[in-house]
Amino acid sequence: MCKGPLIIAGGGLAGGLAALALQRAQPEIEFVLVEGGSSFGGNHTWSCFDTDVPPSAAELLASLSPRRWPAHQVRFGAHSRTIEIGYLSVASERLHEAIIAHIPPERRRLDSAIARLAADHVALADGSEIAGSAVIDCRGPAGPMPGMELAWQNFVGIEYDATSGVPAVPMVMDATPDQIGGYRFVYLLPFAADRVLVEDTYYTLDPALDVPTVSDRVAALAAERGITGTPGRTETGVLPLALDGDPAVFWPESDPVPRLGMAGAFFHPTTGYSIGLALRNAAELAALPNPLSAPVLAQWSRGAFLRHWQATSFFRLLNRMLFWAAPPGERRRIFAHFYRLDADTVARFYSGQLTALDKLRILSGKPPVGVGAAMMALAGRRPSWRQ
Ligand SMILES: Cc1cc2nc3c(=O)[nH]c(=O)nc-3n(C[C@H](O)[C@H](O)[C@H](O)COP(=O)(O)OP(=O)(O)OC[C@H]3O[C@@H](n4cnc5c(N)ncnc54)[C@H](O)[C@@H]3O)c2cc1C
């Protein structure tokens, strides 16, 4: 077996959490976290519901000082609802600070772009090489994913230093705006009484995001909601949503390199969010018995991916109904229908833990799309629209 540290390639959400969890649980394991950027975590705000956080990773999450709210809201036409499920948010700066505070300097590297990686080493862009006992690929999303049919959640978010209009709790979906581009909604995250993130989000089959146009829409939405103040930090996202795919093409059994995070498709098929899975995987990794060899890690991470893929087949089916059976302007009705369900079912939907009864509840009632269109979508018939 090759000697050397375990190399965690990419110090974003998944790699950073994996390193923090290992350092906490098994500090005797030698590892090095290698990040191409000048800070760990990049420029993100990672949010999720309280109920997405696996108990095994609660302490790990707490070390990132998340901002918490006791409830959140959704709004569809005249129907608005406050749901008593907590929501939380982690700024990428907190991940960076936690890594600097808890991981010794010799175990972390910034400004170290990786040109190539293999199961036992990484070659850096500056021509140097780091050899290790294993490499985990945590380099994040890389656009289209081989073997996967995807749709996208596109958004632009602008943070305002606001003098008015900041809601008390997050608005995770206000789907009242015109349905431009697909299923479109406003997302509001009130970090403080005078600071709010305003996002224009839409679900689409087209990954092209026109940032200036959508930024103008954010400004208009903020004004409509009475949010006055100064715009600051902007974030943009084009998050994958899974419709279908062949897991063996995406991640062949012969691939010797373990993966975590978006590099391993560890995301919720209907939201593109990955923080809950990144927390769970980090906790699982840190509980694996030492030594963490490349074959052990490759088998463990691919096994976790296959279990996740299998457990989320219902979400891909729903996505096909959403994107293939409903024209872009009609997709809102599917979410409006979903949000009539009880809070526990909503929580299990987002944490990816639906029961058979939940699935029945989601599919029952007056269908929000035509039966003919639904049958065509289920038969795999692609629609004529491109959004
Ligand atoms: C703006 C935005 C907001 C999001 N909000 C949420 C949210 O609220 N909740 C949620 O759950 N999900 C959210 N997501 C989706 C997803 O969870 C994030 O993309 C998440 O950061 C993915 O984690 P990751 O570790 O796979 O990738 P990343 O966090 O992107 O980490 C990958 C890291 O690898 C580094 N890297 C890449 N290539 C190299 C290389 N060649 N050499 C060295 N380093 C390299 C990158 O610099 C980066 O730091 C959001 C995504 C975006 C873009």
DSSP per-residue codes, 129-196 = EEE-SEEEE-----SS-TTEEEEEEEEEEEEEEEEE---SS-EEEE--S--TTSEEEEEEEEEETTEE
Q: What is the DSSP letter of 381?
A: P
pLDDT given at position 317: 95
How many CB atoms sit inside 10 A of residue 97's CB? 17
Closest residue CA from atom 43 of ligand 1: 36
Summarised one tens digit per residue, pLDDT across range 142-196 is 778 999 999 999 999 999 999 999 999 999 999 999 999 899 999 999 999 999 9
Q: What is the DSSP letter of 289?
A: P
Q: How far is the CA of 219 from the centre of ligand 1 (A)?
A: 25
Structure tokens at 136: 């985990």
Closest residue CA from atom 38 of ligand 1: 139
Residue 376 CA to residue 371 CA, distance in Å, equals 9
Closest residue CA from atom 20 of ligand 1: 13
- Which has the closest alpha carbon to 45: 94, 9, 85? 94
Q: What is the DSSP string of 14-50?
A: HHHHHHHHHHHH-TTS-EEEE-SSSSSS-S-EEEEEG
Q: How far is the CA of 261 from the centre of ligand 1 (A)?
A: 8
Residue 156 CA to residue 236 CA, distance in Å, equals 4
Pocket (CB within 6 angstroms of ligand 1): 10-15, 34-37, 42, 44-48, 113-114, 138-141, 235, 237, 239, 261-263, 272-275
How many CB atoms sit inside 10 A of residue 241's CB? 22
What is the architecture of the domain spanning 6-67+88-142+246-311? 3-Layer(bba) Sandwich (3.50)
pLDDT given at position 368: 74
Q: How far is the CA of 12 from the centre of ligand 1 (A)?
A: 5
Structure tokens at 308: 């996740």
Q: Are 260 and 281 in contact (CB under 8 A)?
A: yes
pLDDT given at position 367: 66
pLDDT given at position 2: 56
Closest residue CA from atom 7 of ligand 1: 46
Q: How far is the CA of 311 from the centre of ligand 1 (A)?
A: 23
Residue whose entry in the numeric block shows the structure tokens 């059994």:
253
Q: How far is the CA of 163 from the centre of ligand 1 (A)?
A: 31
- Which has the closest alpha carbon to 44: 6, 11, 84? 11
Q: Is the peptide bond before 291 cis (omega within 30 degrees of 0)?
A: yes
Closest atom of ligand 1 to CA, residue 47: 8
Q: How far is the CA of 291 from the centre of ligand 1 (A)?
A: 28
Closest atom of ligand 1 to CA, residue 238: 53
Candidates 99, 262, 279, 285: which one to mutate for ligand 1, based on the most atoms within 8 Å of Cβ? Answer: 262
Q: How far is the CA of 325 from the centre of ligand 1 (A)?
A: 31
Closest residue CA from atom 35 of ligand 1: 10
Which amino acid, one-letter code, is at 267?
Answer: F
Closest atom of ligand 1 to CA, residue 37: 47
Which residues are within 8 A (CB) of 117 and not within 5 positions of it... i.e. 6 or more apart? 7, 9, 123, 135, 137, 257
Q: How far is the CA of 123 from the centre of ligand 1 (A)?
A: 21
Q: How far is the CA of 239 from the centre of ligand 1 (A)?
A: 10
Strand partners, 117: 122
- Taking every pair of C-alpha atoms in the chain, what is the biggest distance, in angstroms? 63
Q: Are 295 and 302 in contact (CB under 8 A)?
A: no
Summarised one tens digit per residue, pLDDT across range 218-261 is 999 999 999 999 999 999 999 999 999 999 999 999 999 999 99
- Which has the closest alpha carbon to 92: 257, 210, 233, 202? 233
Which is it for the CA torsion 10, 126, 1, 306, positive or negative?
positive
Residue 245 CA to residue 242 CA, distance in Å, equals 8
Closest atom of ligand 1 to CA, residue 113: 42
Instruction: Find the length of the chain.
Output: 387
pLDDT given at position 45: 87
User: pLDDT tens digits, the chain, 387 residues: what are they?
Assistant: 557 999 999 999 999 999 999 999 999 999 999 999 999 999 888 999 999 999 999 999 999 999 999 999 999 988 899 999 999 999 999 999 999 999 999 999 999 999 999 999 999 999 999 999 999 999 998 778 999 999 999 999 999 999 999 999 999 999 999 999 899 999 999 999 999 999 999 999 999 999 999 999 999 999 999 999 999 999 999 999 999 999 999 999 999 999 999 999 999 999 999 999 999 999 999 999 999 999 999 999 999 999 999 999 999 999 999 999 988 988 999 999 999 999 999 999 999 999 999 999 998 877 677 777 777 777 788 888 878
Q: How far is the CA of 279 from the centre of ligand 1 (A)?
A: 13
How many CB atoms sit inside 10 A of residue 156's CB? 22
Candidates 126, 135, 139, 259: which one to mutate for ligand 1, based on the most atoms within 8 Å of Cβ? Answer: 139
Alpha helices by DSSP H, listed for the chain, are 13-25, 58-62, 92-102, 211-224, 247-250, 275-286, 294-311, 313-320, 332-338, 343-350, 356-363, 371-378
pLDDT given at position 78: 85
